[in-house]
């Protein structure tokens, strides 16, 4: 169609404003009051720490075309800030009569991406109480700090080195804080405070982003509840070891838990215990209710819950001389006949609530009924950046995973198998399968010397059960002591044979699972590293490098734009894992604290004379003990002693940072093998003695040794040994390139096989010149990081030079905007080199769009309008390739393509006159240049291909005769 001014104007108008004319429900006049959400409520979330509310409301009908509901929250009804949203599928609407939104745990408060200023929400009337997200402006955001629990997530280095020391005097007391700008936080998170009123409202947003009026704000008050009841406690008494074993299912909500406790309830005291639990429940429901009963159960175990990590959920307690003793927890319980007791587990939270599990009776067993843990090993994983430890045990496992019939007679089956290896046994040489039928008759023996995870088995007749005996030979071990057995059993539901239970030497392999726990210097509790099924033979434990400091934030300075956090931080636990080693960002404050602690002791000692009640005196004694411990730590801890010797605070902090890194990245391990019901075995704690490998300087190493600990610290490696074959191949290839270039430079004639596509490039350019039509060159659709694009640009340089010499116009449409300036420079330089700068048109290389098919449409338009005589497609192409080349074919242009995209090569071959297949694209530039340097490289590629081919042939022949050493010499992908 030929456009004139009038037509162009209409098209333009329709394009720009057309969509406004299309009627949509959103454009019709609407009664906005019918879009106000109804039945809005804010209710407390049960079993939490008083930081959760659940909002519910009646969703608007589907016909209203709602795209999202936006939630606003505040502490007064007149200022509600955007908090979050619930997206809705416009077409389907919301199924059900109620929608829910959970406002629980920590969520976004403010961060560097927050808006600069506070704005009223869009399309709301004057006087509306709803605002957009809280801004970065501290004058507005700062006062909100008191309304929530605020947690600052700070990159460790920012906390240590980018803080500003701030002194604040309140009530005649001067306190020191570390001030941090908002940009020094990853983000600030907020959590609701228990027993505080929060106001909420919700607005609906329609498909056309019309913000509807807000619902009348409702009040919600989060309440601190007692912890949730765990689902199950299992108790076992190991008679011959005189040991109690417990295992429980972990609770889901753990944020405010403090202690895990285990009690024994004498059966005679059962009623008393039930009354006690009931009374506690009443007290929780009614704060006025006064309790009078004492817990008749005997505490036998207690520990910190391990938050925020996943804690160990097993405990073994030895009964020694009829007693359970734990001095640290002040436990000394005499145990009678274990059959007279129930066990009960409790969770305690910070508010002092305690929730008991259901009572559990003891399963009395002997240790022979418990699983055995084989030898296991922990070591630094090789060839990594120092962020993994490898933990492995036992020998590889082989097992069947699936079975499919290959014929209608069901006499040919394909059986899939898999192998669990580990770091020690990583090279599997053979896997032997002895297959028997239902009658026990041996059908076949298979030696899988190359493990492709498939077995093809021919049966004499269809069978409902096929038995497999399996053995793995790995790393020189014959595996004769480990015979796996597994059956394929017909399953009528799926009408196929299915793998049954796996046995190792007659024992069910997956009856038990392995739990690997780890513990570092920063926390006394064990934390779960990984849980694996019984067939697994190893895990890798990630020891991340991320270092983040979490700090509560409650003060700010709006003028200076600072949030204040306490400047104290924990370096690690002390050597006995009992007390945290704390220090201060500021050396002078750290020194002052010693005096302050002494002063506190003096004050408490003096106050004891005036105290009357025993409880107050006990509290004073506790405080004195605490401060004395702190003084002892500061005076005797080698880390703090060493830190005190630094005169420069930055050097001091660098030292402390490194020690802290060692503390948090050094782990000891333990393993538990369990059936999930307290029948478990646990290992000794696994430690190392190779502590001298730590990648720190001598002074830190010395300090580390003085602590006398032997945890695993993963070491980063400088060479990835499994890439050695790749390195050797690269070096060989590089050597060949140099050698062939020397040969070429010395004047030796190098034979290069002719490639028709490249030979025809000159003719194709000549054809365009003769016809007086332009040349089209598409340098692929991928970015500059793709080597195919670089190869395409190299060819573009040669083609553009020739075109300039012949004074033929060249058009280069580009899809990637980083490729654009490079292509422009290539074409410009080509014209200058050809001595034809005058013929260079800067607009001959032009950007179309990054959208794949819009780009094709643009290129096709160029082909048709400009009637290009020659089309080059050199680089990376996807599905658009055929659309371009078919169009070029219909315009009658001669077409030469080159790509390394295997899936597009057939289309190019079909529709183009010449195609450079795969590596020919990379060779083209050298062919066209005909220089010794380029030709030498080309020849080197050919010889390297010969070497690879030789390896392929030899490897195939060796594998055919069961010699797999060559295959095994290369790393797996």
Partner 1 sequence: MKRQIPLIIIMTLGFMFVAHSFIPHKVSVDFFDWFQDWSKAISPFAVSLGIMSLFMVHGTKIKRKVPNWQYSVITLAGLIFTALAGFIWGTQSGTPYMWLFENVQMPMSATMFALLAFYIASAAYKAFRARSAEATVLLIAAVIVMLGQVPLGAMISKWIPEASTWILNVPNLAAKRAIMIGVGLGITATSLKILLGIERTYLGGGD
Residues 691-720 that bind partner 1 (CB under 8 A): 716-720
Between 299 and 787, name the residue whose CB sits nearer to partner 1. Answer: 787
Helices in 31-117 by DSSP H: which ranges? none
Neighbours of 939 (CB within 10 A): 22
798 touches partner 1 by CB under 8 A? yes
Q: Name residues contacting partner 1, limited to 403-462 (CB under 8 A).
A: 407-408
Of the candidate spans 51-59, 378-386, 586-594, 675-683, the one that interacts with partner 1 by CB under 8 A turns out to be: 378-386
Question: For residue 746, which of 925, 923, 933 has the smallest C-alpha distance?
Answer: 933
Select from 99, 370, 764, 923 the one that contacts partner 1 (CB under 8 A): 923
Between 681 and 883, name the residue whose CB sits nearer to partner 1. Answer: 883
Coil/strand/helix, residue 950: helix
Contact 572, 664 (CB under 8 A): yes
911 touches partner 1 by CB under 8 A? yes
DSSP state of 249: P
Q: What is the Cβ-side half-sphere exposure of residue 686, based on CA atoms within 13 angstroms?
A: 22
* Least gap, CB of 141 to partner 1 (angstroms): 23
* Least gap, CB of 433 to partner 1 (angstroms): 23
Q: Name residues contacting partner 1, limited to 531-570 (CB under 8 A).
A: 545
821 touches partner 1 by CB under 8 A? yes
The set of residues, in sequence order, having a beta carbon less than 8 Å from that of 499 and lying 6+ positions away, is 399, 400, 401, 402, 403, 486, 487, 488
Q: Name residues contacting partner 1, limited to 23-42 (CB under 8 A).
A: 26
19 touches partner 1 by CB under 8 A? yes
Select from 166, 594, 611, 882 the one that contacts partner 1 (CB under 8 A): 882
> What is the DSSP pairing of strand 397-405 with strand 442-448?
unpaired
Select from 146, 464, 605, 852 the one that contacts partner 1 (CB under 8 A): 852
Cα–Cα distance, 897 to 872 (Å, whole number): 6
Select from 617, 705, 750, 879 the one that contacts partner 1 (CB under 8 A): 879
727 touches partner 1 by CB under 8 A? yes
Select from 161, 733, 739, 806 the one that contacts partner 1 (CB under 8 A): 733
> Where does residue 518 rank: exposed (0-12), middle (13-18), buried (19+ CB within 10 A)?
buried
Between 409 and 596, name the residue whose CB sits nearer to partner 1. Answer: 409
| SS3 per residue for 639-676 | HHHHHHCCCCHHHHHHHHHHHHHHHHHCEEEEEEEECC
Site string for partner 1, 192-231 (x = CB under 8 A): -------------xxxxx----------------------
Select from 769, 922, 927, 964 the one that contacts partner 1 (CB under 8 A): 922
Between 606 and 909, name the residue whose CB sits nearer to partner 1. Answer: 909
Select from 359, 856, 893, 896 the one that contacts partner 1 (CB under 8 A): 856
The set of residues, in sequence order, having a beta carbon less than 8 Å from that of 807 and lying 6+ positions away, is 769, 836, 839
Cα–Cα distance, 548 to 546 (Å, whole number): 6
* Least gap, CB of 81 to partner 1 (angstroms): 19
> What is the DSSP pairing of strand 775-778 with strand 810-814?
parallel
Between 937 and 964, name the residue whose CB sits nearer to partner 1. Answer: 937
DSSP state of 720: -
878 touches partner 1 by CB under 8 A? no
Between 102 and 832, name the residue whose CB sits nearer to partner 1. Answer: 832
Q: Looking up tokens 């002791």, which residue turns up?
A: 601
Q: Name residues contacting partner 1, limited to 134-163 (CB under 8 A).
A: none
790 touches partner 1 by CB under 8 A? yes
> What is the DSSP pairing of strand 412-420 with strand 341-349?
unpaired
C-alpha distances (whole Å) from 505 to each of 68, 317, 367, 440, 914 are 59, 31, 20, 18, 64
* Least gap, CB of 662 to partner 1 (angstroms): 15
Select from 414, 854, 954, 957 the one that contacts partner 1 (CB under 8 A): 854
Select from 49, 380, 394, 900 the one that contacts partner 1 (CB under 8 A): 900
Between 553 and 814, name the residue whose CB sits nearer to partner 1. Answer: 814
919 touches partner 1 by CB under 8 A? yes
Between 807 and 825, name the residue whose CB sits nearer to partner 1. Answer: 825
Give the DSSP per-residue string, 99-133: EEEEE-S-EEEE-TTS-SS--BPTTPPTT--EE-S
660 touches partner 1 by CB under 8 A? no
Question: For residue 964, which of 540, 428, 177 has the smallest C-alpha distance?
Answer: 428
177 touches partner 1 by CB under 8 A? no
Contact 713, 666 (CB under 8 A): yes
Select from 917, 958, 966, 967 the one that contacts partner 1 (CB under 8 A): 917
Site string for partner 1, 931-960 (x = CB under 8 A): x-xx--xx-xx--xx--x------------
Cα–Cα distance, 219 to 231 (Å, whole number): 33
* Least gap, CB of 300 to partner 1 (angstroms): 45
């Amino acid at each position: 169609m030929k456009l004139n001014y009038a037509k162009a104007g209409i098209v333009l108008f329709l394009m720009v404003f057309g969509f406004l004319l299309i009627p949509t429900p959103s454009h019709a006049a609407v009664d906005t009051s019918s879009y106000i959400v109804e039945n809005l409520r804010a209710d407390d979330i049960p079993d939490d720490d008083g930081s959760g509310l659940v909002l519910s409301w009646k969703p608007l009908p589907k016909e209203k075309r709602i795209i999202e509901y936006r939630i606003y929250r505040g502490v007064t009804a007149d200022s509600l800030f955007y908090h979050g949203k619930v997206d809705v599928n416009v077409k389907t609407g919301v199924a059900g009569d109620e929608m829910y939104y959970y406002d629980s745990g920590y969520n976004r408060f403010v961060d560097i991406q927050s808006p600069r200023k506070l704005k009223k929400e869009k399309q709301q009337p004057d006087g509306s109480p709803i605002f957009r997200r809280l801004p970065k402006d501290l004058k507005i955001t700062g006062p909100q700090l008191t309304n929530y629990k605020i947690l600052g997530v700070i990159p460790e280095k920012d906390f240590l080195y980018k803080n500003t020391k701030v002194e604040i005097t309140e009530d005649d007391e001067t306190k020191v804080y570390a001030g941090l700008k908002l940009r020094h936080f990853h983000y600030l998170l907020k959590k609701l405070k228990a027993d505080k009123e929060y106001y909420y409202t919700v607005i609906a947003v329609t498909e056309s982003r019309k913000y509807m009026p807000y619902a009348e704000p409702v009040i919600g008050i989060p309440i601190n509840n007692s912890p949730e009841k765990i689902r199950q406690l299992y108790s076992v008494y190991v008679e011959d070891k005189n040991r109690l074993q417990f295992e429980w299912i972990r609770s889901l909500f753990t944020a405010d838990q403090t202690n895990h406790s285990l009690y024994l309830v004498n059966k005679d005291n059962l009623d008393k215990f039930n009354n006690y639990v009931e009374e506690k429940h009443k007290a929780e429901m009614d704060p006025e209710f006064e309790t009078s009963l004492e817990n008749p159960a005997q505490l036998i175990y207690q520990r910190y819950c391990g938050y925020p990590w996943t804690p160990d959920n097993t405990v073994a307690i030895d009964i020694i001389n009829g007693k359970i003793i734990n001095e640290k927890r002040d436990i000394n319980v005499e145990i009678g006949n274990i059959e007279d007791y129930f066990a009960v587990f409790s969770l305690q939270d910070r508010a002092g609530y305690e929730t008991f599990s259901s009572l559990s009776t003891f399963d009395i067993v002997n240790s022979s009924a418990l699983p055995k843990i084989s030898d296991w090993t922990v070591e630094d994983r090789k060839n990594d950046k120092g962020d993994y430890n490898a933990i492995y045990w036992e020998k590889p496992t082989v097992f069947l995973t699936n079975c499919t019939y290959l014929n209608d007679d069901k006499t040919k089956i394909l059986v899939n198998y898999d192998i669990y290896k580990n770091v020690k046994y990583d090279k599997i040489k053979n896997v032997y399968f002895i297959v028997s039928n239902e009658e026990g008759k041996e059908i076949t023996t298979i030696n899988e010397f190359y493990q492709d995870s498939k077995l093809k088995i021919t049966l004499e007749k269809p069978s409902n059960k096929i038995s497999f005996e399996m053995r793995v030979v790995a790393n020189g071990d014959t595996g004769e002591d480990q015979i796996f057995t597994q059956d394929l059993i017909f399953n009528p539901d799926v009408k196929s044979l299915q793998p049954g239970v796996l046995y190792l030497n007659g024992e069910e392999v997956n009856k038990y699972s392995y739990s690997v726990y780890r513990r570092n210097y920063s926390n006394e509790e064990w934390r779960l590293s990984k849980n694996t099924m019984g067939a697994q033979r190893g895990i890798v434990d990630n020891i991340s490098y991320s270092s983040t400091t979490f700090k509560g934030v409650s003060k700010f300075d709006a003028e200076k734009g600072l949030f204040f956090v306490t400047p104290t931080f924990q370096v690690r636990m002390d050597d006995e894992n009992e007390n945290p080693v704390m220090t201060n960002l500021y050396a002078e404050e750290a020194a002052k604290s010693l005096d302050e602690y002494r002063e506190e002791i003096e004050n408490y000692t003096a106050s004891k004379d005036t105290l009357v009640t025993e409880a107050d005196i006990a509290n004073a004694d506790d405080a004195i003990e605490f401060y004395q411990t702190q003084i002892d730590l500061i005076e005797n801890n080698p880390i703090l002693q060493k830190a005190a010797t630094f005169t420069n605070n930055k050097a001091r902090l660098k030292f402390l940072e490194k020690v802290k890194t060692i503390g948090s990245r050094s782990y000891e391990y333990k393993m538990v093998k369990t059936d999930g019901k307290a029948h478990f075995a646990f290992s000794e704690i696994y430690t190392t003695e190779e502590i001298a490998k730590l990648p720190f300087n001598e002074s830190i190493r010395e300090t580390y040794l003085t602590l006398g600990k032997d945890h695993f610290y993963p070491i980063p490696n400088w060479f990835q040994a499994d890439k050695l074959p790749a390195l050797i191949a690269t070096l060989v290839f590089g050597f060949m390139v140099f050698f062939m270039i020397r040969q070429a430079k010395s004047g030796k004639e190098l034979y290069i096989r002719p490639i028709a596509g490249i030979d025809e490039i000159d003719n194709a350019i000549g054809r365009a010149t003769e016809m007086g039509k332009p040349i089209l060159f598409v340098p692929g659709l991928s970015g500059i990081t793709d080597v195919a694009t670089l190869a395409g640009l190299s060819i573009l340089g040669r083609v553009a030079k020739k075109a300039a010499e012949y004074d033929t116009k060249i058009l280069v449409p580009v899809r990637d905007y980083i490729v654009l300036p490079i292509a422009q420079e290539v074409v410009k330089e080509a014209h200058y080199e050809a001595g034809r700068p005058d013929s260079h048109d800067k607009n001959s290389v032009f950007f179309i769009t990054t959208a794949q098919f819009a780009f094709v449409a643009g290129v096709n338009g160029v082909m048709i309008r400009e009637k290009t005589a020659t089309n080059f497609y050199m680089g990376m192409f996807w599905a658009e390739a055929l659309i371009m080349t078919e169009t070029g074919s219909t315009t009658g242009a001669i077409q030469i393509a080159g790509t390394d995209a295997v899936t597009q090569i057939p289309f190019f071959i079909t529709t183009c006159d010449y195609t450079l297949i795969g590596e020919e694209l990379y060779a083209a530039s050298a062919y066209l240049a005909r220089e010794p340097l380029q030709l030498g490289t080309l020849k080197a590629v050919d010889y390297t291909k010969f070497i690879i081919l030789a390896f392929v042939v030899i490897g195939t022949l060796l594998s055919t005769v069961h010699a797999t050493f060559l295959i095994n010499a290369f790393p797996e992908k």
